[in-house]
Amino acid sequence: MAKVFIINGGQEFDESKGLFNKLLAEWTGDFLKESGFDVRTTNTGDDFNTQQEVENFIWADVIVVHTPIWWFQVPYKLKQYVDLVFQNGRGKIYKSDGRSRTNPEINYGTGGLLQGKQYMITSSWNAPEGAFTLKDELMSQTSVDTGVLFGFHIAMKFVGLTKLDGFHFYDIVKGLTPARFDDYHKNYIAHLQQTFEPLKKKPK
């Protein structure tokens, strides 16, 4: 049975109650359990044990991260979570930065210990998709993955994880009509099916 660790990066802050990412984590967990996966979940808005979180990364075959985007970055508690877990994972999730003192200019970021494991990220935005795709709009035709989430992807690569295609939810504050919500649900479940079906029979 393949093992999946879900990280819910949503949290309560000002007008945000973290409800959308909580729901995404539930959609993901329910789908994976029904499909025969072994699942663990952490909510970064809650208290957590750092060493247990390190062990969750070691345990999992796939890590799924759900995060809202606040001011064009991940929420501060998710950033704190990554800082604490990765820093305390030295010797377990990474051994070094990968370089040698004899040639320190090469191989930076090759000391990860999670090779063979994969990760997937979803992000949720108030921004419409056009902000990323249309000329002269705010994001200058830069995608979520090559822009705002670039550093997050590099952190995952640093510890040895391989990226699976993610899923991004746009305009969920001002423009989330019931019809768009239903379409997002349907399309996200289809994305999970496409992504995880090949991993379903991974041996324990």
Angle at CA of residue 192, ends 189 and 195, nearest 5°: 150
Does residue 204 form part of some domain?
Answer: no
**Confidence bin at 13 (pLDDT 50/70/90):** confident
Q: How confident is the model at residue 17 (pLDDT cuts 50, 70, 90)?
A: confident
pTM of the entire predicted model? 0.94
125 assigned to some structural domain = yes
Q: Determine which helix (DSSP H) or strand (DSSP E) holds 121, and give its type and residue range.
A: strand 118-124
Do strands 162-163 and 167-169 pair parallel, antiparallel, or not at all (unpaired)?
Answer: unpaired
Could you read off the pLDDT of 25-35 as tens digits, one per residue?
Answer: 999 999 999 99
Domain assignment of residue 141, yes or no: yes
Cα separation of 125 and 97, whole Å?
32
Residue 124 covered by a domain: yes
Mean pLDDT to the nearest integer, 149-169 = 98
> What range does the domain containing 98 cover?
3-199
Q: Domain total for the chain? A: 1
Q: Are 13 and 75 a contacting pair, CB within 8 Å?
A: yes
- Report how far residue 80's alpha carbon sits from residue 130's, in angstroms, rounded to the nearest whole number: 30
Q: How many helices and strands in the chain, by DSSP H and E?
A: 6, 6
Contacts of 66 (CB under 8 A, 6+ apart): 6, 7, 8, 9, 10, 21, 24, 25, 28, 121, 122, 124
Q: What is the pLDDT of residues 80-90, one digit of tens each?
A: 999 999 999 99
Q: What is the CATH number of the domain that holds 101?
A: 3.40.50.360
